[in-house]
């Protein structure tokens, strides 16, 4: 807490705040993984979480759609509000929450089903389509949004696992946006991809900003600089610094941020 | 917020979706109900599985425990010197003793005011040849004459079943074994309080009897038969299995021959046990003329069945020894063979022993192949008197003995079969516990 | 000399050879072991191996081949026409062997002198009585032909045994002498010994192949004999199973179809019990159960797989059968009178299903656990409930593996013997009523081969044809199932 830069506090008054986290602590068994993190994430922006491995950035990301619930030993304390509703309220069903807060994972993980069924899976379980035509439309729109439609439209019945790595990851993004989320969480979405596929996905992220609040965890500072408007730097479970991306990369306030940016730690 | 999704695929119901996280939509209610149902199926499946196990255990214990006890008649009896001399001077000496016994019991009944008619024949049907027992006791212990001696006389199995309520009066057909009138005597004995139960050592240590004497049947001889079979299995399958595993795991080049061996081992592990019985019958008995019903043959067949189990577990424990150990040995100039026998094998030994014990436990309970090599139906009447006779003389084995009893028409043998199962399971349990302890004690994480 | 004695002598020579070899090696270097190529013990072991191994191999081969040769020679002496009606060459030969053994016993006990044993004639003395005197009972009187055959059997066996003893001891001694002479300071004893051990290891590994070959040969030979006596088509397409033991089984009808039907029907019911329970148990254990529940429930379920099948058989016969009769039988709880006896397809099927639960659950559990966590995360991250994830993502992903597990369980069910022998009944019939008693391939193998079976009649030989059918079916299922499971594992590796 004492490491925190007080600059963050005034963010809470900022308008258009989609997600606000206050005093979040996460324990894995006895390990204290996240130490008292406060953060405000704006709507329709791309927010990047950067930091060295094991700094807790992915853990924090997984708190936002309660994916940590699936790990037995994980305990989350503090409040996370989305649209001013506490998502850790006992009345909240994590299933409903995850429909609102979509997630894309580090390694592309298409289901062993056809491309069509991969995208249609979410709308089907959430009952978003009234009929087959509706569903077809959702699938098409999602694939278009994920910039995969042109490559996939002739092989919708082919298995999703048969696509290339970059295509698979875009399929996973299409799958996530098909459930009409408001927030999209991306956990190092490009770490398993080659540079060309990475460029395509980054381009896509920039477009997605039009519709969603995107939170992306990344290893690569260049990527954070390229795609995000706001950047948060995590170190050893602390949120060290959170500011506009330009400011973080050009004029960091905290010496640790500077060391990381300049490549001395991490 | 509506702006946020204006760009999104349409079709989302206006009311549902992300309106508020704090209220549950009707669809969510249905989905959560489905979730709860699904989870319930899982709980039900586990419960049913465990219920089967409990049901099985209860029925084994309930039916089997009576096999370990027998019903006895406790009689206190004083034989005077004159009675002894008189009985010894008669032609039919045991009959004279029986008569003395009958008189004694009658006296005891009268003392308690019970009025039942019976004769020596009744006593013989209920308690066997009491006269002979008495005579041999007093001939061996002449100093007991004239003093009160307590006798514990075991009853016939039918009497036992009558007392357990498994045999009712209307089921009794008068015959050589029991007459309906005899049951009055039994009732009188119960009223006189001279009937009790005693631990039946004969069941554990005794030998099998013919079909007409369920009460005297014991499982001891077949335990010895099983022991000799396991001896053969252990002595053959452990060295052969370990040698085969060492070859396959440490030395075998990758070629078609070793592939063939691997395929064979994995398939043999899944061949039905009855097929091994056919093999044993055709090869060991039909072709090699080894004796039928011999524990040696049973042991050979079970060895072939156990080998794949032992090979699979031995290879797993050899594999778990890290390559650094081998490299270290080779690095100081040991030959490959020396590195395996001096370093890898000792480290893998606990795992190999665990696998062997589990393989032996499997073999101990195996029945089907024994049916074909003649171990079933054989009446194991005597104990072997030497190692060779233990291996080569016909004998039964525990599971085969249980089957023999279960297949007999006299229901009194069923109790013996259940009792035999308890003994078999105690052996299996002990072996498995030893294996678990070995594993816990020597388990090594590299 | 008996084989045991020969073996002991050879082993003794081996031990002697070990020390002789060792000391010779030490002598060649004047007691300085550093000058030797290998450790002294290897020189000893080399001599011991050379002494023991070839001799033992000769001993075993001889012991197997000699009776076969003598059998062939002696059976040539027996006039085919003189074999009595209802008998066979095999039966006469076993008589011959018994008489020969009897004569041996008689000589050993001093009842006969060796000369007497080789010279007596059936005409002049009652051999049967004399043999009964020494405790060798014979079924019928000994014909002079049998006696003569037995006497020459004895004579040949005697010569053979003498020769065997000589040859084996000679081979052993030669091995000792030769390997002892080879020892010099540079002799690579360790390499030779290691090569020897390697051969032993390969031999041990080959036993698996020998077993398979043994199974296949013993099945094929006897099946061939069976089909010489009984038409193939009648066996595979016959719908009637009624072996007749009279008239050497010639009037039997031995169609496999009713047995196959019983086998499949019982296996089907067993799978009907085991698959849903096992699968849901596996799903619950791997997806929902807490660590402590899993730590208790999983081993408890696996206990069901460790219980010997004879226990299940008895349980079916004495507990489940009577209970089913109380419900479905005459005057039962349902008042339907479908079931007339305790042994039935349902009885065996239910109990076998119980036994198979852990087979299905353990394998499925492994397979469900092999589905990558990324699949679960992907589905849960989209807002699917846990059960939706399981039903729509995990099960489809694990399906090939689960099918493999079910096939393995099916192969178990088809090959299971004790439960059906005790619980299914003995009547072969083609019926749809699961409360009828039916019988199976394995149960009939048992009933045709137990007791004093005569290996020349079709009623006994049919068991081998049943065995080969069973072997082929289960082997096919296993290979297919293992193939599917392996393919599935590769997919996620």
pLDDT of B245 above 90 = yes
pLDDT of residue A175: 92
Same-domain status, B397 and B274? yes
Taking residues B44-58, what's their average pLDDT?
A: 94
Same-domain status, B72 and B206? yes
Q: Which of C378, C389, C397, C402 to mutate to test the interface with A (most CBs of A within 10 A)?
A: C378
Top CATH class, C247-492? mainly alpha
Q: Is residue B15 part of a domain?
A: no
Over residues C216-230, the pLDDT tens digits come to: 998 998 899 888 888
Is C133 or C292 the better-scoring residue by pLDDT?
A: C292
Question: Which residue among C375, C383, C392 sits closest to A109, beta carbon to beta carbon?
Answer: C375
Q: Is residue B362 part of a domain?
A: yes
Same-domain status, B285 and B143? no
Measure in Å the smallest separation between the Cα of A161 and chain B Cα atoms: 24
A95 to chain B, any CB pair closer than 8 A? The answer is yes
Measure in Å the smallest separation between the Cα of B307 and chain C Cα atoms: 8
Q: Which of C381, C387, C402, C490 to mutate to test the interface with A (most CBs of A within 10 A)?
A: C381
Taking residues B235-264, what's their average pLDDT?
A: 90
**Residue C24, number of CB atoms within 10 A of its CB:** 18
pLDDT of A15 above 80 = no
Same-domain status, B326 and B195? no
DSSP at C229: H
A214: which strand partners?
A: A46, A184
pLDDT of C66 above 70 = yes
- Residues of B within 8 A of C310 (CB-CB) are 365, 367, 399, 402-403, 421, 424
pLDDT of B18 above 60 = no
B21 to chain A, any CB pair closer than 8 A? The answer is yes
CATH number, domain with residue B436 = 1.10.3720.10
pLDDT of C248 above 70 = no
If you average pLDDT over every residue of chain C, what do you get?
84
Q: What tokens were used for C179?
A: 């390997």
Q: Is residue B4 part of a domain?
A: no
pLDDT of B182 above 70 = yes
Taking residues C295-317, what's their average pLDDT?
A: 92
Rounded to an integer, what distance in angstroms lies between the CA atom of residue C59 and that of residue C172? 10
Same-domain status, B237 and B120? no
pLDDT band, very low/low/confident/very high, at A227 (cuts 50, 70, 90)? very high
Taking residues B328-337, what's their average pLDDT?
A: 88
Question: Which residue among C382, C388, C397 sits closest to A176, beta carbon to beta carbon?
Answer: C382
- Cβ distance C357 to B42 less than 8 Å, yes or no, reads no
Question: Which residue among C218, C307, C418 sits closest to B282, beta carbon to beta carbon?
Answer: C218
Same-domain status, B150 and B50? no
Q: Which of A44, A126, A139 to mutate to test the interface with B (most CBs of B within 10 A)?
A: A126
- Give me the residue spans of the domains in chain C: 3-187, 247-492
- Cβ distance A105 to C379 less than 8 Å, yes or no, reads no
C200 to chain B, any CB pair closer than 8 A? The answer is yes
Is A61 or B123 the better-scoring residue by pLDDT?
A: A61
C286: nearest Cα among C264, C265, C269, C301? C301
- Cβ distance B307 to C391 less than 8 Å, yes or no, reads no
pLDDT band, very low/low/confident/very high, at B5 (cuts 50, 70, 90)? very low
Is C134 or B420 the better-scoring residue by pLDDT?
A: B420
pLDDT of residue A4: 44
Please report the residues numbered 141 through 200 in chain A whose beta carbons come closer than 8 angstroms to any beta carbon of chain C.
Answer: 172, 175-176, 179
pLDDT of C86 above 90 = no
Kindly identify which residue of chain A lies nearest to residue C397, measuring between CA atoms: A112
- Residues of C within 8 A of A110 (CB-CB) are 378
Which of these ranges, A30-34, A170-174, B50-54, C337-341, has the smallest mean pLDDT?
Answer: C337-341
- Cβ distance A89 to B1 less than 8 Å, yes or no, reads no
A-C Cβ pairs (cutoff 8 Å, strict): 72
pLDDT of B1 above 50 = no
C377 to chain A, any CB pair closer than 8 A? The answer is yes
C318 to chain B, any CB pair closer than 8 A? The answer is yes
Which of these ranges, A100-114, B123-137, C132-146, C274-288, has the smallest mean pLDDT?
Answer: C132-146
Over residues A67-96, the pLDDT tens digits come to: 888 888 888 988 999 888 888 888 888 888
Quote the percentage of chain B above a pLDDT of 70. 93
Same-domain status, B400 and B437? yes
pLDDT of residue C341: 81
- SS3 of residue C300 by DSSP: helix
Q: How many domains does chain B have?
A: 3
Kindly identify which residue of chain A lies nearest to residue C386, measuring between CA atoms: A95
Kindly identify which residue of chain C lies nearest to residue A103, measuring between CA atoms: C381
Per-residue exposure over C430-460, b if at least 16 CB sit within 10 Å of its own CB, e if not: beeebbbbbbbbbbbbbbbbbeebebebbbb
Rounded to an integer, what distance in angstroms lies between the CA atom of residue C315 and that of residue A153? 60
Cβ neighbours of residue A195 closer than 8 Å, sequence gap 6 or more: none
Over residues B61-83, the pLDDT tens digits come to: 998 888 888 888 887 777 788 87
Over residues B143-162, the pLDDT tens digits come to: 878 778 877 777 777 777 78
Taking residues C142-165, what's their average pLDDT?
A: 82
If you average pLDDT over every residue of chain A, what do you get?
86
- Cβ distance C385 to A126 less than 8 Å, yes or no, reads no
**Residue C96, number of CB atoms within 10 A of its CB:** 26
Measure in Å the smallest separation between the Cα of C485 and chain A Cα atoms: 16
B1 to chain A, any CB pair closer than 8 A? The answer is yes
Same-domain status, B408 and B273? yes
CB A84 within 8 A of CB A115: no
Q: Is residue B12 part of a domain?
A: no
Q: Is residue B365 part of a domain?
A: yes
Same-domain status, B328 and B362? yes
Measure in Å the smallest separation between the Cα of C449 and chain B Cα atoms: 6
C88 to chain B, any CB pair closer than 8 A? The answer is no
Q: Is residue B9 part of a domain?
A: no
Taking residues B223-251, what's their average pLDDT?
A: 93
Rounded to an integer, what distance in angstroms lies between the CA atom of residue C409 and that of residue C269? 12
Rounded to an integer, what distance in angstroms lies between the CA atom of residue B321 and that of residue B342? 13
What is the sign, positive or negative, of the torsion defined by CA atoms of A12, A16, A22, A28? Answer: negative
- Residues of A within 8 A of C375 (CB-CB) are 109, 111-112
Q: Is residue B77 part of a domain?
A: yes
- Cβ distance B24 to A93 less than 8 Å, yes or no, reads yes
Quote the percentage of chain A above a pLDDT of 70. 93
A98 to chain C, any CB pair closer than 8 A? The answer is yes
Same-domain status, B280 and B391? yes
Kindly identify which residue of chain C lies nearest to residue B411, measuring between CA atoms: C318
CB A242 within 8 A of CB A230: yes
Measure in Å the smallest separation between the Cα of C380 and chain A Cα atoms: 7
Identify the domain boundary among B157, B190, B216.
B216
What are the backbone dihedrals phi and psi of residue C52, each rounded to the nearest 5 degrees, phi first? -85, -50
Rounded to an integer, what distance in angstroms lies between the CA atom of residue B148 and that of residue B76? 6
Question: Which residue among C291, C374, C383 sits closest to A105, beta carbon to beta carbon?
Answer: C374
Domain that holds residue B315: 220-442
- Cβ distance B21 to A123 less than 8 Å, yes or no, reads no
Chains that contact B by 3+ CB pairs under 8 Å?
A, C
Q: At what angle do helices B412-442 and B220-246 cross, to 10 degrees?
A: 30
What is the sign, positive or negative, of the torsion defined by CA atoms of A201, A202, A203, A204? Answer: positive
pLDDT band, very low/low/confident/very high, at C140 (cuts 50, 70, 90)? low
Chains that contact C by 3+ CB pairs under 8 Å?
A, B
If you average pLDDT over every residue of chain B, what do you get?
83
Which of these ranges, B72-81, B412-421, C415-424, has the smallest mean pLDDT?
Answer: B72-81
Same-domain status, B172 and B253? no
Rounded to an integer, what distance in angstroms lies between the CA atom of residue C78 and that of residue C92? 9
DSSP β-ladder status, A101-104 and A183-187: parallel
Q: Rounded to whole angstroms, what are the CA distances from C96 to C90, C107, C145?
A: 10, 17, 9
pLDDT of residue C124: 61
- Residues of C within 8 A of B308 (CB-CB) are 208
Q: Rounded to whole angstroms, what are the CA distances from C105 to B389, C29, C98, C119, C444?
A: 17, 55, 10, 16, 39
Question: Which residue among B43, B289, B308 sits closest to C284, beta carbon to beta carbon?
Answer: B43
Rounded to an integer, what distance in angstroms lies between the CA atom of residue B332 and that of residue B334? 6
For the entire predicted model, the pTM comes to 0.82
Identify the domain boundary among B65, B86, B115.
B65
Question: Which residue among A72, A104, A112 sits closest to C397, beta carbon to beta carbon?
Answer: A112
Question: Which residue among C291, C383, C397 sits closest to A98, beta carbon to beta carbon?
Answer: C383
- Residues of C within 8 A of A72 (CB-CB) are 290-291
- Cβ distance C297 to B365 less than 8 Å, yes or no, reads no
Taking residues C436-452, what's their average pLDDT?
A: 85
Please report the residues numbered 208 through 267 in chain C whose beta carbons come closer than 8 angstroms to any beta carbon of chain B.
Answer: 208-209, 211-212, 214-215, 218-219, 221-222
Same-domain status, B196 and B264? no
pLDDT of C82 above 70 = no
């Amino acid at each position: 807490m004492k490491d925190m830069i007080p600059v963050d506090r005034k963010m809470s008054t900022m308008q258009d705040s989609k997600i606000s986290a206050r005093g979040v602590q996460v324990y894995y068994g006895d390990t204290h993984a996240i130490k008292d993190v406060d953060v405000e994430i704006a709507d329709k922006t791309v927010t990047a979480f950067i930091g060295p491995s094991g700094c807790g950035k992915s853990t924090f990301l997984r708190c936002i759609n309660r994916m940590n619930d699936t790990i037995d030993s994980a305990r989350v304390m503090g409040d996370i509000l989305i649209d001013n509703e506490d998502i850790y309220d006992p009345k909240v069903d994590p299933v409903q929450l995850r429909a609102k807060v979509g997630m894309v994972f580090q390694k592309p993980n298409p289901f062993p089903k056809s491309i069509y069924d991969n995208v249609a899976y979410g709308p089907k379980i959430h009952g978003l389509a009234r009929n087959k035509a509706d569903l077809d439309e959702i699938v098409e729109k999602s694939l278009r949004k994920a910039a995969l439609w042109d490559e996939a439209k002739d092989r919708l019945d082919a298995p999703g696992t048969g696509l290339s790595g970059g295509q698979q990851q875009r399929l996973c993004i299409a799958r996530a946006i098909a459930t009409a989320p408001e927030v999209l969480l991306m956990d190092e979405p490009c770490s398993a991809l080659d540079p060309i596929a990475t460029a395509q996905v980054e381009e896509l992220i920039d477009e997605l900003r039009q519709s969603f609040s995107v939170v992306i965890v990344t290893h690569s500072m260049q990527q954070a600089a390229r795609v995000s408007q706001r950047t948060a730097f995590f170190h050893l479970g602390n949120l060290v610094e959170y500011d506009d991306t330009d400011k973080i990369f050009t004029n960091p306030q905290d010496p640790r941020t500077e060391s990381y940016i300049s490549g001395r730690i991490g | 917020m509506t702006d946020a999704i204006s760009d999104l695929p349409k079709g989302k119901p206006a009311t549902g979706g992300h309106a508020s996280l704090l209220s549950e939509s009707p669809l969510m209610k249905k989905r959560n109900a489905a979730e709860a149902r699904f989870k319930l199926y899982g709980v039900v499946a586990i419960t049913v599985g465990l219920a089967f196990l409990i049901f099985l255990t209860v029925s084994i214990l309930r039916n089997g425990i009576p096999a370990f006890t027998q019903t006895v008649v406790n009689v206190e009896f004083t034989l005077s010197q004159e009675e002894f001399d008189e009985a010894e001077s008669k032609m039919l000496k045991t009959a004279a003793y029986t008569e003395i016994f009958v008189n004694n019991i009658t006296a005891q009944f009268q003392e308690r005011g019970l009025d039942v008619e019976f004769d020596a024949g009744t006593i013989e049907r209920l308690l066997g040849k009491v006269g002979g027992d008495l005579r041999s006791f007093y001939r061996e212990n002449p100093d007991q004459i004239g003093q009160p001696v307590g006798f514990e006389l075991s009853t016939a199995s039918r009497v036992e079943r009558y007392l357990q309520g498994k045999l009712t009066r209307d089921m009794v057909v008068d015959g050589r074994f029991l007459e309906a009138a005899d049951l009055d005597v039994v009732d009188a004995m119960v009223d006189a309080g001279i009937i009790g139960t005693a631990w039946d050592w004969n069941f554990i240590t005794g030998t099998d009897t013919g079909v007409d004497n369920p009460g005297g049947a014991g499982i001891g001889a077949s335990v010895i038969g099983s022991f000799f079979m396991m001896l053969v299995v252990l002595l053959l399958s452990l060295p052969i299995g370990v040698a085969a595993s060492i070859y396959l795991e440490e030395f075998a080049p990758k070629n078609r021959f070793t592939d063939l061996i691997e395929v064979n081992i994995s398939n043999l592990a899944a061949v039905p046990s009855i097929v091994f019985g056919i093999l044993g019958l055709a090869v060991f008995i039909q072709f090699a003329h080894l004796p039928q019903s011999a524990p040696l043959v049973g042991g050979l067949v079970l060895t072939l069945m156990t080998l794949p189990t032992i090979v699979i577990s031995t290879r797993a424990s050899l594999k778990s020894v890290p390559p650094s150990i081998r490299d270290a040995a080779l690095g100081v100039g040991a030959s490959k063979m020396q590195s395996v026998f001096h370093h890898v094998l000792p480290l893998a030994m606990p795992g190999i022993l665990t696998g062997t014990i589990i393989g032996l436990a499997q073999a101990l309970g195996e029945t089907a192949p024994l049916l074909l090599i003649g171990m079933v139906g054989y009446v194991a009447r005597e104990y072997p008197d030497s190692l060779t006779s233990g291996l080569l003389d016909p004998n039964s084995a525990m599971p085969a003995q249980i089957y023999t009893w279960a297949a007999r028409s006299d229901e009194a043998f069923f109790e013996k079969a259940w009792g035999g199962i308890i003994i078999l399971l105690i052996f299996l349990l002990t072996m498995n516990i030893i294996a678990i302890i070995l594993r816990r004690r020597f388990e090594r994480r590299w | 000399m008996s084989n045991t004695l020969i073996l002991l002598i050879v082993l003794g020579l081996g031990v002697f050879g070990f020390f002789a070899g060792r000391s010779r090696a030490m002598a060649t270097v004047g007691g300085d072991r550093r000058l030797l190529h290998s450790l002294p013990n290897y020189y000893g072991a080399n001599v011991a191996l050379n002494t023991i191994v070839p001799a033992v191999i000769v001993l075993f081969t001889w012991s197997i081949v000699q009776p076969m040769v003598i059998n062939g020679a002696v059976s040539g002496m027996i006039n085919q026409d003189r074999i009595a009606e209802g008998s066979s060459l095999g039966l006469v030969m076993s008589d011959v062997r018994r008489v020969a053994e009897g004569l041996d016993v008689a000589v050993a006990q001093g009842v006969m002198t060796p000369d007497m044993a080789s010279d007596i004639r059936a005409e002049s003395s009652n051999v049967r009585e004399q043999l009964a005197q020494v405790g060798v009972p014979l079924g019928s009187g000994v014909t002079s032909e049998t006696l003569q055959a037995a006497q020459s059997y004895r004579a040949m066996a005697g010569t053979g045994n003498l020769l065997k003893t000589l040859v084996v001891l000679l081979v052993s001694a030669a091995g000792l002498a030769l390997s002892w002479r080879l020892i010099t300071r540079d002799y690579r004893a360790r390499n030779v010994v290691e090569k020897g051990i390697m051969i032993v290891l390969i031999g041990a590994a080959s036993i698996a192949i020998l077993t398979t070959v043994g199974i296949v040969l013993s099945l094929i030979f006897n099946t061939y004999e069976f089909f010489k006596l009984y038409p193939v088509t009648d066996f595979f397409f016959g719908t009637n199973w009624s072996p007749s033991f009279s008239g050497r089984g010639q009037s039997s009808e031995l169609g496999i179809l009713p047995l196959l039907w019983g086998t499949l029907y019982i296996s089907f019911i067993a799978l009907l019990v085991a698959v849903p329970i096992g699968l849901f148990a596996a799903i619950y254990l791997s997806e929902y159960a807490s660590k402590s529940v899993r730590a208790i429930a999983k081993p408890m379920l696996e206990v069901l797989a460790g219980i010997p099948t004879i226990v299940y058989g008895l349980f079916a016969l004495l507990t489940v059968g009577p209970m089913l009769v109380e419900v479905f039988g005459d005057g039962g709880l349902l008042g339907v009178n479908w079931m007339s006896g305790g042994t039935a397809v349902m009885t065996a099927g239910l109990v076998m299903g119980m036994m198979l639960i852990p087979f299905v659950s353990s394998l499925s559990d492994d397979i469900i656990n092999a589905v990558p966590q990324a699949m679960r995360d992907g589905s849960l991250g989209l807002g699917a409930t846990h059960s939706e994830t399981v039903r729509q993502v995990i099960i489809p992903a694990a399906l090939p593996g689960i099918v493999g597990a079910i096939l393995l369980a099916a192969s178990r069910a088809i090959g299971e013997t004790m439960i059906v022998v005790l619980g299914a009944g003995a009547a072969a019939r083609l019926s749809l009523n699961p409360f009828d008693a039916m019988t199976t391939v394995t149960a009939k193998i048992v009933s045709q081969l137990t007791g004093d079976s005569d290996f020349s009649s079709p009623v006994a030989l049919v068991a081998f044809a049943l065995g080969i059918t069973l072997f082929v079916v289960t082997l096919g299922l296993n290979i297919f199932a293992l193939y599917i499971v392996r393919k599935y594992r590769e997919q996620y590796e």
